[in-house]
Amino acid sequence: MLKILFQFSCLLLCISAHAQRDTVIQISATGGLQYSQKRIVVKPNTRLTLVFQNKDDMAHNLVVTRPNSRLRVVEFALALGDKGAQKHYIPAIDDVLAHTTSVEPGNSDSITVKLAEGGYPFVCTFPGHGSIMYGIIYATKDVKRLPAPDQDINIPNPTRMQEAAHRGHHPTVSGHPFPMKLPAVYRTFMPDCGPAAIAVGLPGPNGGQSYVFDAGECRIRYAWSGGFVDNTEQWEGKGQLLTKVVGDIYFRDTGGFPWRVGNAVPKAQFKGYRLVNRYPEFWYVINGVEVHELVKPLPAGRGLIRTFTFSPTKQSLSFINKPQPGIRLQSSLGRFQREILTLPPGTRQVILKMMYDV
């Protein structure tokens, strides 16, 4: 008997050791656009299977996204328009890591995803659901590092949102001998950017807005709202780990360097920046034309105001915009023809307003 017990406990041990890397979790849609679990914690490199059961009275899906990419995935899903339903509201962008099909009430579907260290949002991308019906999977070794659930900006909680807005008026622990004050600049390793990245946090309501400027390519790579960055892991140890985005990425420039001088795709050379009331005004040279770019937040809502100033040139200047759902671009000069804004000859300054419309 003892021997059998021993063998049995060995078997159990084997199962639990194996289970650390291979986890199955049940999650369901309940009434009121809610997932039954909003915060799932697993170890890094877990092969996680989510079994999604729809217990609601309407159809839903479940999409796991790259870190900080929930907003963008929702926006691209919305942009599918008429074609959304047949595509299960799944946009074809690489921010989507895994997804179920559309699951009718009473049905279920499952997905399996392997997650390296990080925070991975999951969301229902049915039109109108994405702003309410979401949650987060943390793949972490260090559970103690996670924010308290009532302060976690990655899970829906209307009360917490109000508290966070209120807290924003008090200086928080900055990790420096001075309080963190926006605008602020960090040159650091950022995700989804070249290694010479500059993170900029701008003041504004609800945690403000932020963007990453790639000093290697001299262009904005993405922008987010709801916070700035978390350097904790980057600062620790030897500096291999990336600084984390805090908030929701609503814009990614996937089109490469946007400016053309004449017809050429120029190679931009970074020259530095000047702080103007703490806002960095970037300076770079493209085909002999000096460009200064100052970025400010829209006074209300998500969006950036980019002011470009040029040295005199006889060459024509044009800006290529790769359209993106939810993002509207408005120029102080000239007009966009399809995706190209050609500036009138002799232009010395242009203001591009990038607005995120919901």
Partner 1 sequence: MFALLILSSFLFAATPADTISDYYEVETILTPAGLVAETGGLSFLPDGRMAACFHRGEIMLYNPKTKVWKLFADGLHDPLGVVAVSNRELLVIQRPELTRLTDTNGDGVADLYETVTDQYGMSGNYHEFAFGPVRDAKGNLYISLNTGSNGAGIRDEVRGQYEPLGRQGRMYACVPYRGWVLQITPDGKVKPFASGFRSPNGIGFDAKGRLFVTDNQGDWLGTSKLYHVKEGKFYGHPASLVWRPGFPSVDPLTLPVRTLDSLRTVESIAFPHESMAHSPTQVVFDNTGGKFGPFTGQMFVGDMDYAHLLRILPDEVNGQIQGACIPFFSKAGSNGVAMRIGNNRLAFGPDGSLYLGQTDHGWLGSKGIQRIRYKGGVPLDIMAMKLTHTGFTLTFTQPLDEATAREITNYKLRSYYYEYHQAYGSPQMDMQSVSVSDVEVSADRRTVLLRLETIKPNRIYELTLGNLAAGNGQKKLMNHLICYTLNKLVE
Where does this chain bind partner 1 (CB under 8 A)? Answer: 174-178, 184-189, 193-196, 198, 215-216, 231, 235-240, 270-276, 280
For residues 267 and 278, the answer to whether their CB atoms sit within 8 Å is: no
Query: Whose Cβ is closer to partner 1: residue 86's or residue 240's?
Result: 240
Minimum CB separation of residue 64 from partner 1 in Å reads 20
| 140: CB partners within 8 A, 6+ apart | 41, 43, 44, 117, 146
Query: Whose Cβ is closer to partner 1: residue 186's or residue 211's?
Result: 186
Minimum CB separation of residue 241 from partner 1 in Å reads 8
Q: Which helix (H) or strand (E) holds 187?
A: strand 184-188
Distance CA 16, CA 337 (A): 60
Minimum CB separation of residue 321 from partner 1 in Å reads 22
Query: Whose Cβ is closer to partner 1: residue 290's or residue 355's?
Result: 290
Query: Whose Cβ is closer to partner 1: residue 217's or residue 248's?
Result: 217
Distance CA 286, CA 268 (A): 5
Minimum CB separation of residue 235 from partner 1 in Å reads 6
Query: Whose Cβ is closer to partner 1: residue 167's or residue 187's?
Result: 187
Strands 184-188 and 96-99: unpaired
Backbone angles phi, psi at 73, to 5 degrees: -65, -40
Minimum CB separation of residue 277 from partner 1 in Å reads 10
Strands 279-286 and 336-337: unpaired
